[in-house]
Structure 1
Amino acid sequence: MWENKKFIFCILIVSNFSDSDAFAKTVKDIVVGKVIIHPFAQDQLEVGSNIHGNQHSSPSASGPHIRNGVRINIANQVKIGAIWDFGAAPGGQMRLFEGAASYTGLKHFQFSVGVFNPSFGLSSMQSRGDSIFPERASVATITRGLAAGANRQAVQALFYGNYYHLAISGTAGTAGPGKDGNQRAIVFRSVILPIHTQEFLMHVGISGEWVFRPSHKNSMEEGVSFSDTPENDDGLNDKYIKTGNIPAKSSGAFGLEGAVAWKKLLISSEYYNLIVNENKNSRINRQNFYGWYITAAYTLVGKPRAWKPTSASFASPSCDQKVSTLCHAMGVIELATRFSQMDLENSDVSGGKQNIWSVNINWYPLDIIRISLDYSHTKYYEKENYHNFDSILSMFQVYF
């Protein structure tokens, strides 16, 4: 299986870069009459290890995200996404990543149905290609996984413009392998830009999701669970923070998101409160957890991140010249730091508490290639257990 995935990955790389002209321009769309076909690739290779502390590990390599397909625009009226996830390598399960159709013929509106990532949260809506760090903060990963993550079967109505974004979705389970096929939930997000000038932008939003029918398997009781690997994943997939299954009647996550962009500096943050209405001895017992992060990113070389109305998120930095190779003879360069906290502890559930501080550098030698180097310091607490370790992660990414 892994040999086949490596072969597919190599073919994609060679097909996109074997022609020397590909190094001088963005991957071109295919235009047939009123149909525009945009090839899609989101392929990552990560190498990392825990280098100091009581959780030392040897260097390991993985391909956590290998996704390829097309997005099609028909007469600026209908958009279709067809993207296949080849599974995390080695050993990951293949599945449909995106299989959705959207009607965009009504100005400022977009109606979508199928398998896609419904609008929820700032970090969640920044694609892997636009993300500041190789991996999202734990609070973003955990909350989006509840009812609004990738591979999610959903319907959505979106109303957006240059200064606002309002979306409401109904979601079910994930496509392909998963345990939440019979889950049902409602998801919403509202974002405005109260200040927007040539040099300064302020982003303010709220997001929420409510699972009114948690997933369950045949004879198993309905329930939810929260867990995540360290944000700077060492490739071992060890999940330090984890609640296990919590029998639940309903569950949700509600939070605030904000960002300010000034010239080449972007500061963003999110806070979420997770709620679980637990079935316990025929009574409803409410469990509460929380998490947050704050990120600062500075574009050292190139054009800073720009706000995108359709996703209400920030695109990757780009070249401020009309070239896509080695902008200013050195490529686009971005520096970033992040602090995050995830708390899955309360009186009845001991899922652990995690604090992570990270620094990162992103280098874009081409407009479709990113190379990242990330260092993080993790502290993890669970009752009497304490872990303290440093990690380093490098990432090579092809994204277009």
Structure 2
Amino acid sequence: MHREMMGEIHRLQARVDKYEHTSNLQSRKISRAPRTLTAAGPDDAQPQFREDPVVPPANHGPRSPNDSRIALPEGPVQSWSSFKAASAKDESVDIGGIKIGFPKGRPTIASDDKAYAFSIGLLAQEDFGGFMGVGQRGKESAGNFNKFTENARRLRIYMSWRYKDWVVNVTPDFGANNSDGTVGLFEANMNYTGLHNTTLTVGYFQPRMEEDSAERSGAFEFLERPTIVDLVRNIAGGVARFSIGGEHYEKRWLVAGYFTGQKYGDRTTDKTITDSQTGAVFRAAGRPYVSKDIDVHVGVGATAAFKVNQSGTGRTTTFKDNVEIPLGETQLLTSNALTNISQIWAVGPQFGFRYKKFLLKGEYYHVGVQHDNVAASIDPPAIGFDGWYVAANYTLFGHGRGYNEKIAAFTTPGVEYDFDPAKGHWGALEVSGRWSVTDLRTSGTTKMTGTVISTAGETGNKQTVWQGGLNWYPNQHIKVMLDYTHFSVSSYNGAKSTDANFFGRSGNAVVGRVQAAF
């Protein structure tokens, strides 16, 4: 602005010199007549002054339910038109034809026409807490159940490059496991969004078949998914799974399907793999009834590994998981080793019901394991597992959890006003409860010697988890969680007296989490 004003002053001075200078040098030396300004003519340049734009203050509330949701860096990929529309609402700075802004707190650089863009997002979760009442009995191993410990659960940096409707996502994860210090890859994929409400994807991706996973990890009601959800999603999906496919949504329904391969790093972890896995993931979900106070969600998810990785030990796998607590504890739940596998599949329904600020939801899945037919006269034996969960949630203050049609899942509460005790604003607070059961017991046989299938009786064990939790959202980027967990896990056939679960185990845990998302 200062530069423009100086330019106008110089032009005015030149005009004065043109019309008001004296006729000769001598008279200028002897006497100087007083100068007067002459009004500019219609053809003369007029001075123009630009005022700095008035930047409105940041919106700390009140916010509508749709505008109050927590920032989720793993949201669905936006089309170019949606990106332009969203960017137009956000404040930005223009520097030489480049726009720099912070939509939902995410640093974003874009060309003036929004054709090119680059953004960086963040999800950081730090967990801390411990176990109580998990003592060993007899000669049982104590296992790893710390009374107090910490874990950086997810430390993801989301990097996104855009050219119109083409978007490339690369996300390293510096908290990729339940044990501190694990570094991995969350995703590396290319997406096309030029078709109406459709995203086509190829690369390392997380195809989602369950409602709980579709919510995204930053929006979970509890620290982790229910165990059955975690097991079935990793059959042919899960984080950093090679995927080719897409999803399409409308206001009342969504359908998604992906052909999948191995996970990122499989052949580094096991260098004996000579034939990689192939599989598929499918999901269909609907919203048969919706009103201001009510949402009804129904859906079905299915997944299958057409063949699992062929390694030096054959085609084998083991279902196992922790007690839904991400602190690196000993895994008590196991199916034992499943060998000579032909196929693994899972299918099940999902249901959700919201009434105002109350939400009830649940999912059930059946897992089938098919063994190889090594003898023409023997039908391939099949064994099965089951699991389910039911969760209830109520928002004490703030906007209640809502439904996101773009992911066909429920999402976080909304922060109507940012935390400001001086004004009586406390953010949003919700309370949740969940019952989760995973049963890996089966009377089927899992071992094969030559062409003879041996029957070893019941294998695997059963886990039941009860949880209660509070989640506080002081603003749209910060989340504080506190969970109480009671778990009970049975023993299993073949357990040794020195195993951590020879007699079965039960116990309690209290774990907190702080989360930042941009």
TM-score tier, shorter chain, comes to: 0.7 to 0.9
Task: Please tell me whether Structure 1 or Structure 2 has the larger radius of gyration of its CA atoms.
Answer: 2
1:397 matched to 2:397? The reply is no
TM alignment of 1:332-371, pairs within 5 A: 332-347=428-443, 348=445, 350-371=459-480
Matches within 5 A, 1:193-208: 193-208=287-302
Which secondary structure does the structure 1 equivalent of 2:336 belong to?
coil
Change (3 A) 1:275 1:156: same
1:374 equivalent in alignment to 2:483: yes
Q: Where do 5+ consecutive residues of structure 2 fail to align?
A: 1-101, 137-144, 446-457, 493-501
TM-score, L = length of structure 1: 0.87
The residue aligned with 2:155 is 66
User: When the two structures are aligned, how many residues end up with a matched partner?
Assistant: 373
Matched, 1:241 2:359: no
For residues 380 and 317 of structure 1, the distance between their equivalents in structure 2, rounded to whole angstroms, comes to 33
> Does the residue aligned with 2:218 lie in a helix, a strand or coil?
coil
Distance 1:342 1:84 in 2: 31
Counterpart residue number, 2:257? 168
Q: Is structure 2 residue 198 aligned with structure 1 residue 104?
A: no
Do 1:25 and 1:325's aligned partners in 2 also have CA atoms closer than 8 Å? Answer: no
Q: How does 1:1-400 map to 2 (within 5 A)?
A: 26-33=104-111, 34=114, 35-54=116-135, 57-75=146-164, 77-86=165-174, 87-88=176-177, 92-177=181-266, 178=269, 182-217=276-311, 219-233=312-326, 235-247=327-339, 248-279=341-372, 282=375, 283=378, 284-321=380-417, 323=418, 329-347=425-443, 348=445, 350-383=459-492, 385-400=503-518
Q: 1:163: Cα distance to partner?
A: 1.1
AA of the residue aligned to 2:170: A
Post-superposition offset of 1:382:
2.0
Q: Distance in 2 between matches of 1:373 and 1:91?
A: 19
| Alpha-carbon distance, 1:79 to partner | 2.7
Q: Check conservation: 1:29, 1:36, Cα contact below 8 A.
A: no
Displacement of 1:140 in angstroms is 0.7
How much does 1:207 deviate? 0.5
User: How far did residue 262 of structure 1 move?
Assistant: 1.1
The answer to whether the Cα contact below 8 Å between 1:26 and 1:324 also exists between their aligned partners in 2 is no
Q: Could you tell me whether the CA contact under 8 Å between 1:203 and 1:260 is conserved in 2?
A: yes
Separation in structure 2 between the aligned mates of residue 53 and residue 220 of structure 1, nearest angstrom? 34
Aligned equivalents of 1:92 and 1:345: distance in 2? 33
Identity %: 24
Name the SS of the counterpart of 1:392 in structure 2: strand
1:54 CA drift (Å): 3.0
Name the amino acid aligned to 1:369: I
Alignment check: 8 A CA contact 1:224 1:251 kept: no
The one-letter code matched in structure 2 to 1:333 is L
**Structure 1 residues without counterparts, runs of 5 or longer:** 1-23
For 1:81-113, what per-residue CA distance to the aligned partner results, in whole angstroms no more than 9, with x for missing partners? 111012348654422211112111111222111
The letter of the residue matching 1:117 is: Q
Alignment RMSD: 2.3
Deviations 1:40-94 (A, max 9, x none): 212111112111243664211111222112234443x223211101234865442
Shift of residue 281, structure 1, vs aligned partner: 5.9
**How far apart, in 1, do the equivalents of 2:127 and 2:172 lie?**
20
Report the Cα distance in structure 2 between the residues aligned to 1:185 and 1:129, rounded to whole angstroms: 27
> Offset at 1:36?
4.1
Q: Please state how far the C-alpha of 1:28 moved relative to its aligned partner.
A: 3.9
For residue 245 of structure 1, report the CA deviation from its aligned partner.
Answer: 2.8
Secondary structure of the residue aligned to 1:351 is coil
8 Å contact 1:232–1:375 — kept in the other structure? no
- Of the structure 1 ranges 47-56 and 121-130, higher mean CA displacement relative to structure 2 is found in 47-56
**Pairwise CA distance, 1:237:** 2.9
Contact 2:118 2:159 in 1 (8 A): yes
Please, which moves more after superposition, 376-385 or 128-137? 376-385
1:74 to 1:317, Cα distance in 2 relative to 1, 3 A: farther
TM-score (ref. length: structure 2)? 0.68
Between the aligned partners of 2:160 and 2:354, the Cα distance in structure 1 is 30
Q: Distance in 1 between matches of 2:386 and 2:471?
A: 29
Match of 1:143, SS state, is helix
Indicate the SS of the match to 2:460: strand
User: Residue 274 of structure 1: CA displacement?
Assistant: 0.3
| Alignment partners' CA distance in 1, 2:404 and 2:190 | 20
Which amino acid counterpart does residue 372 of structure 1 have in structure 2?
M
Q: Report the more deviating stretch, 244-253 or 63-72.
A: 63-72
Listed one character per residue, the Cα deviations across residues 304-350 of structure 1 (whole Å, up to 9, x for unaligned) are: 222223322222112134x5877962121111000000000011352
